[in-house]
């Protein structure tokens, strides 16, 4: 462990995740432009976008089963290669299929980054996993934030979407170089001596299955809305993309201050509060216009801010024996759910637009359908809080019996 440089490994991990965020932010900014340039309808755009979400769970689930066997470094070399290839293919895309394949490659790269970096961060900072996972995952909204600004600024200068996508090569090359020269630790599961079979068995625990299902909802609420916000609200606001910039800015601040927040509130209570705020933000998106949309973006950002890292941190803290498999199955579940939801909502958008003859109505209807998800999660997380309080009481009683 003497040769393990935690600081540099964490920095490289953050850069890799920033590329994931950049891909989301830039794609959200250019999605409508791609539709115009290549004469694509919303269903086709949804399929292209969904390819990123298919690639992610494919990579993260495969990574979940092999990361302990081949090591995190080899996975991250693969992530670099897929990012590099996917970005170049996007820059030189000439139609639907090249966009689909390049987006799939970027999705595979994004999933591979998390397959290696989530267990890497959790294993390096075992004393404050949820806090450090929040600090790590603040680089996803940071990438989105920078990506949306790249689109806005380069559009004003007059650079096309190809150059905007190409800017992602810079951090990609840097993180690839850093990971290539650094030594890596073994995963926490290996270090703790938990058997591979024990890890697999642990993911069938009822609490894990419950959180796995809830991840469908938290990921969809956050990522589908962010990826499609420019399309859904472009006829309601002149600066729809800036709503994503504002939302991701709030997320960056929130995750940066995760440590003091988590000192005052349990992860499960934080998830409940987050879901309520996310639902309120989505509701305001569907019922307001003008400056009020910026308030909606702030509230929504506060809501989805802690979703992804707190879900991972909760599972890894309360079910540590699930190891890298548990972390990566959670991430895979989230992205797979977003891919399916995106396809359905793309078709739904086209259907409503044809019936109503209005993109404004179609966008609001899609957001109203999405609002159902956090409303269901509110009930689920109320139940989780009740369960965890009961579990804490049982643990306290057991300790008292031992002491007696």
DSSP secondary structure string, 182-230? ---PPPHHHHHT--HHHHHHHTTSHHHHHHHHHHHHHHIIIIIHHHHHH
Residue 97: how many other CB atoms lie within 10 Å:
10
Per-residue model confidence (pLDDT) at position 404: 44
Most confident of 48-57, 243-252, 306-315: 306-315
Please give the helix or strand (H or E) that residue 327 lies within, else none: helix 323-356
Report yes or no on 297 lying in a domain. Answer: yes
Yes or no: say if 171 and 19 are a contact pair by the CB < 8 Å rule.
Answer: yes
Per-residue model confidence (pLDDT) at position 366: 85
**Confidence band for 399, pLDDT divided at 50, 70 and 90:** very low
Please return the burial class of 399, using the count of CB atoms within 10 Å of its CB with bins 0-12, 13-18 and 19+: exposed
pLDDT digits (tens, 9 = 90+) for 365-398: 888 999 999 999 999 999 999 999 988 776 655 5
pLDDT over threshold 90, residue 6: no
Structural domain for 279, as ranges: 6-395
Report yes or no on 1 lying in a domain. Answer: no
Measured distance CA(232)–CA(234) in Å, rounded: 6
3-state secondary structure of 160: coil
pLDDT digits (tens, 9 = 90+) for 316-343: 889 988 988 898 899 889 988 988 898 8
Mean pLDDT over each residue of the chain, to the nearest integer: 87
- For 246, how many CA atoms within 13 A lie in the half-sphere containing its CB? 18
pLDDT digits (tens, 9 = 90+) for 81-97: 999 999 999 999 988 99
Report yes or no on 404 lying in a domain. Answer: no
pLDDT over threshold 80, residue 191: no
Measured distance CA(32)–CA(101) in Å, rounded: 18
Q: For the domain that residue 351 is a member of, what is the CATH number?
A: 1.20.1250.20
Q: How many domains is the chain partitioned into structurally?
A: 1
Can you tell me the mean pLDDT for 213-232? Answer: 84
- Residue 193, C-beta contacts closer than 8 angstroms, at least 6 positions apart: none
Measured distance CA(45)–CA(230) in Å, rounded: 13
Measured distance CA(361)–CA(207) in Å, rounded: 39
Report yes or no on 400 lying in a domain. Answer: no
Yes or no: say if 114 and 60 are a contact pair by the CB < 8 Å rule.
Answer: yes
Report yes or no on 402 lying in a domain. Answer: no
Per-residue model confidence (pLDDT) at position 396: 56
Per-residue model confidence (pLDDT) at position 235: 65
**Confidence band for 402, pLDDT divided at 50, 70 and 90:** very low
Measured distance CA(270)–CA(222) in Å, rounded: 15
Measured distance CA(331)–CA(327) in Å, rounded: 7
Two structure tokens written together for 288: 């307001």
pLDDT over threshold 80, residue 194: no
Can you tell me the mean pLDDT for 108-122? Answer: 91
Report yes or no on 354 lying in a domain. Answer: yes
- What count of residues does the chain have? 404
Report yes or no on 125 lying in a domain. Answer: yes
- Give the DSSP letter of residue 320: G
- Give the DSSP letter of residue 322: G
Report yes or no on 260 lying in a domain. Answer: yes
pLDDT over threshold 80, residue 246: yes
pLDDT digits (tens, 9 = 90+) for 127-178: 788 888 889 999 988 998 899 889 889 989 989 899 999 999 999 999 999 9
Selection from 118, 143, 144 nearest residue 133 by Cα: 118
pLDDT over threshold 80, residue 184: yes
What is each CA distance from 164 to 14, 52, 115, 168, 225, in whole angstroms? 21, 18, 27, 8, 22
Per-residue model confidence (pLDDT) at position 237: 66
Per-residue model confidence (pLDDT) at position 403: 44
């Amino acid at each position: 462990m003497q040769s393990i440089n935690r600081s540099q490994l964490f920095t490289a991990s953050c850069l890799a995740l920033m590329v994931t965020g950049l891909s989301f932010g830039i794609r959200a900014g250019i999605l409508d432009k791609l539709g115009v340039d290549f004469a694509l309808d919303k269903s086709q755009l949804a399929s292209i976008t969904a390819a990123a979400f298919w690639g992610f769970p494919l990579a993260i689930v495969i990574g979940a089963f092999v990361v302990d066997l081949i090591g995190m470094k080899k996975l991250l070399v693969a992530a670099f290669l897929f990012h590099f290839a996917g970005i170049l293919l996007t820059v030189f895309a000439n139609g639907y299929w090249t966009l689909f394949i390049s987006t799939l490659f970027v999705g595979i790269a994004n999933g591979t980054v998390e397959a290696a970096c989530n267990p890497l961060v959790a294993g390096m900072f075992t004393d404050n996993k949820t806090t450090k996972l929040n600090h790590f995952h603040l680089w996803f909204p940071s990438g989105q934030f920078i990506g949306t600004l790249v689109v806005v600024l380069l559009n004003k200068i007059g650079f096309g979407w190809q150059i905007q996508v190409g800017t992602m090569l810079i951090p990609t090359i840097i993180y690839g170089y850093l990971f290539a020269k650094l030594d890596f630790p073994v995963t926490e599961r290996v270090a703790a001596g938990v058997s591979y079979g024990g890890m697999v068995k642990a993911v069938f625990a009822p609490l894990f299955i419950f959180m796995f299902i809830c991840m469908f909802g938290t990921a969809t609420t956050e990522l589908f809305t962010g990826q499609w916000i420019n399309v859904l609200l472009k006829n309601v606001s002149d600066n729809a993309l800036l709503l994503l910039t504002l939302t991701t800015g709030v997320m960056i601040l929130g995750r940066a201050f995760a440590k003091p927040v988590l000192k005052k509130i349990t992860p499960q209570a934080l998830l409940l509060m987050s879901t309520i705020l996310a639902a309120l933000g989505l509701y305001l998106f569907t019922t307001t216009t003008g400056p009020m949309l910026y308030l909606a973006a702030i509230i929504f950002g506060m809501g989805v801010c802690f979703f992804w890292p707190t879900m991972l941190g909760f599972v890894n803290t309360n079910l540590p024996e699930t190891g890298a498999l548990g972390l990566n199955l959670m991430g895979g579940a989230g992205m797979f759910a977003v891919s399916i939801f995106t396809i359905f909502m793309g078709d739904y958008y086209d259907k409503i637009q044809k019936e109503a003859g209005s993109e404004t109505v179609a966008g609001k209807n899609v957001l109203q359908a999405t609002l159902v998800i956090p409303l269901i999660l509110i009930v689920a997380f109320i139940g989780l809080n009740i369960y965890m309080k009961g579990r804490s009481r049982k643990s306290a009683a057991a300790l008292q019996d031992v002491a007696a």
